[in-house]
Chains A and B, each alone.
Chain A
Amino acid sequence: AQKVTQAQTEISVVEKEDVTLDCVYETRDTTYYLFWYKQPPSGELVFLIRRNSFDEQNEISGRYSWNFQKSTSSFNFTITASQVVDSAVYFCALSEENAGNMLTFGGGTRLMVKP
């Protein structure tokens, strides 16, 4: 069964600090997809990234970067030079090819960036 663990329930940083949000997943499939979503205080869910299991290349998008390591079953998310607007709950999610296309979310990490 697929499972996603976000061990950090809350993180608090001061603006301009770098912060890494951890995501560890469990799967028996060789083909799977990983996602990160952001939920700001306004409540909507915003897509950040999708990665398939065959693409271990790290990704950078502005201040955001993602480190996918199959050897440790992790898909960590780093925000460089954090800003107050980054304050949100961040969710990591997993979809296995052979799990009927179910999407399993982690419990989320609440990030608070203080000025």
Chain B
Amino acid sequence: EAQVTQNPRYLITVTGKKLTVTCSQNMNHEYMSWYRQDPGLGLRQIYYSMNVEVTDKGDVPEGYKVSRKEKRNFPLILESPSPNQTSLYFCASSLWASGPNEQFFGPGTRLTVL
């Protein structure tokens, strides 16, 4: 089944404790991206990647890191989480042909930073 998986789905942590949210897709998509969703703000793009070893900042990259060492994986790293990073996070992937295409989203990771 074609899908994007994220782990963990729920996470409660404390300020400053490094964490990684994994994202994996099995559709051989070139493009992957991370978003955060906050009430009233819609989804805001954190980072995206056009292919292996190619990553770029989105709208709200501060406090986050990503890497793309393999085509299928795109982990999101919070080196020192803070309470303002409490949010719902989505990973997405898509083909890249003639511009951006339909993005397939993971189920989301709800993160709470105390």
Binding site for B on A (CB under 8 A): 4, 6, 9, 31, 33, 35, 43-45, 47, 50, 52, 91, 93, 95, 97, 100-108
Contacts and interface: CB of A to CB of B under 8 A. Distances in A.
Nearest to B99: A33
Contacts of B35: 105
Q: How large is the interface on B (under 10, 10 to 19, 20 to 34, 35 or more residues)?
A: 20 to 34
A101 B108 contact: no
A107 B41 contact: yes
Interface stretch (B13-21, B42-50, B78-86): B42-50
Contacts, number: 64
Main SS of chain B's interface residues? strand
Contacts of A101: 31, 48, 50, 56, 96, 100
A43 B110 CA distance: 11
7 contacts: A33-B99, A43-B107, A43-B108, A91-B42, A95-B99, A103-B100, A104-B59
A106 B42 CA distance: 6
A107 B102 contact: no
B62 to A, nearest CB: 15
A103 B103 contact: yes
B43 A105 contact: yes
A46 to B, nearest CB: 8
